Amino acid sequence: MTATRLSPGDPAPEFTLPTDTGDTLNLADLRGRRVILYAYPAAMTPGCTKQACDFRDSLASLQAAGYEVVGISPDKPEKLAKFRERDAITFPLVSDTDKSVLTAYGAYGEKQLYGKTVTGVIRSTFVIDPDGKIERALYNVKATGHVAKIRRDLGLD
């Protein structure tokens, strides 16, 4: 099960998913703004917590530069709510329990984990332009240092 990867210029797959607050988030509602959508394997694990907190700590400057941040994982909304509360996450976390959106983005499939091939969430980040097209698609990113790298890549640092 090899994931089909997105490339710059591809349309960002649309979605409407439940959030950590019990609302729903529709990607189309964010048209006109740049969106950083990042896929992570599991809330409240060390790497995912580090990545979420890095995005949280950079959120004001990302928003000032015109970016919205959305995290996506296969966790249930209830777990995402606990994650938000525990770590003071200040951006939406969306729940893709059936992994259909993660799969559409190429962020679910075979990956290497500790030398073994497993099927799971491929830690990825997508920058979506104001027209809903993929501007950047980054796969197999590292949890630590990734936000700093994306800020540099976007010319924000």
Tokens coding 57: 């700590």
- The residue among 150, 130, 35 whose CA lies nearest residue 91 is 35
**Other CB atoms within 10 A of residue 51 CB:** 23
Could you tell me if 79 and 44 are in contact, meaning their C-beta atoms sit under 8 angstroms apart? yes
What is d(CA 47, CA 66) in angstroms, rounded to the nearest whole number? 26
Burial of 66 (0-12, 13-18, 19+ CB in 10 A): exposed
| Residue 53 appears among annotated catalytic residues | no
Catalytic residue among 6, 27, 39, 48: 48
Residue positions annotated with a catalytic role? 48
